[in-house]
Copies of this chain bind each other. A is one copy, B any other.
């Protein structure tokens, strides 16, 4: 499929390949004396067709701020390690059978393996960040990881609660997804020794891109093609996560529609019919369209943060790639 090979995709795939090489080399060296099953679990979890969004953003951010050397790819790897660690733990918590179209780590191996290998990756990622970006980077990164856990608590608290607001939703996705993607960009900039205002601008770019990414994820959870997302549809609804499309539909609903939707939320959400009815309801009330418009706004705001980098000849090409990447997020299908 040559149409798939846009210049953007080629550029991103080239960076992702460099990050994967760094991961392979790093693991081979560092796991030389490790237990064979730990190695197997880590390889299974890390090389499973992930999109590598976080490490790629880290690399482009560093390049945009003027630095590109071999250790940058170890720093980028740290972001994928942490992301993978959180997915492994999330899948334990959610008893998720599938991710990216194949068995989750907990399903393929065991609860113990998924928890422990996740802890290993967590430690390794923090070590790499501390070594490569010192205290300033470690602070950014650790606060993001604390925010991830805190965001999960918040999300759990809100599950199935019809009083959950849009502000709650945005706070959850900021902590769960925005923070870490913001860190990816900020760490790349810190690694490159960027000026504080550049670090801050890339941090905000990352946060906005991350939130848009999550909004699109939440849209695809209802409307995606299962074969492409590699997950079952309607998971969020089944778990009681009231994501933006549903919240927008609720806000647009008349009294009767709202009552019907609340009954679906309070009812047996595991029924396939309930997912279907809710999906139809949201579509009818414009919830998907409205959520997509918000994702577009976030991306537009993210791109504005790049104006300084786009204006400087030395960074313009990299910043243009960040812009394209941000805009691509809106049309992704998996």
Q: Could you tell me which A residues sit within 8 Å of B by CB distance?
A: 34-35, 37-38, 86, 89, 92-93, 111-113, 115-117, 119-120, 122-124, 126-127, 130-131, 134-135, 138-139, 142-143, 145-146, 148-150, 152-154, 156-157
Contacts and interface: CB of A to CB of B under 8 A. Distances in A.
Given A112-B156, A130-B126, A135-B131, A89 B150 contact: no
User: Which among A86, A93, A116, A148 has the highest number of chain B CB atoms within 10 Å?
Assistant: A116
Contacts of A154: 35
User: Which among A92, A139, A153 has the highest number of chain B CB atoms within 10 Å?
Assistant: A153
B34 A150 contact: yes
Contact of A122 (B38, B116, B122, B143): B122
B130 A135 contact: yes
Nearest to A152: B116
Contacts of A120: 145-146, 149-150
A121 to B, nearest CB: 9
A149 B37 contact: no
A31 to B, nearest CB: 9
A176 to B, nearest CB: 11
Nearest to A30: B146
A115 B89 contact: yes
Nearest to A156: B112
Contact of A37 (B92, B112, B119, B157): B157
Given A123-B149, A139-B127, A145-B123, A157 B35 contact: yes
Nearest to A117: B149
Nearest to A89: B115
Contacts of A145: 119-120, 123
